[in-house]
Amino acid sequence: MTRNDAREIMMQILYEMEAANEMNEETVQRLAGERLAGNHVQRGEELLGAIVADLEEVDAKINACSTRWKTSRMPKVDLAIMRLAAGEMMFAEDIPDAVAINEAIRLAKKYSTADSSKFIHGVLGAISKNA
């Protein structure tokens, strides 16, 4: 499993947790343990756990930098992608902001629309500049 594979799985976990309204540490532990492999399990549990624990702060940053949509109105896929990237920028010191943003754009192009990738790029770019 590559780091890109792990990032994609973490985005899917965030999407599933949002869709099921189960944003909690127990769900993070269960899903990360089931779906991630090797050293990605611990990294995924730590990153997803930090995002879930500070979800209000993560969403506040997204909302502050989004000019069109607030998190409550965003498509769940786009929201999961942005939460993951914002979490990487906020909590993963070993990942440069530019890498988190580029990977979010890659995920958006794969799982969402061309317009979504542009929107996600703009929001995450603003988060990075305001950090």
Measured distance CA(106)–CA(130) in Å, rounded: 22
Which residue ranges form the domains of the chain, and what is each CATH number? Answer: 3-130 (1.10.940.10)
Among residues of the chain, what percentage have pLDDT more than 70?
A: 99
Whole-model pTM? 0.95
Measured distance CA(12)–CA(5) in Å, rounded: 11
Measured distance CA(130)–CA(31) in Å, rounded: 32
Measured distance CA(125)–CA(43) in Å, rounded: 24
CA-to-CA separations, 55 to 59, 85, 103, in angstroms, rounded: 6, 13, 20
Closest CA to 8 of 53, 40, 54: 40
Q: Above 80 in pLDDT, residue 131?
A: no
pLDDT tens digits, residue range 63-97?
999 988 899 999 999 999 999 999 999 999 999 99
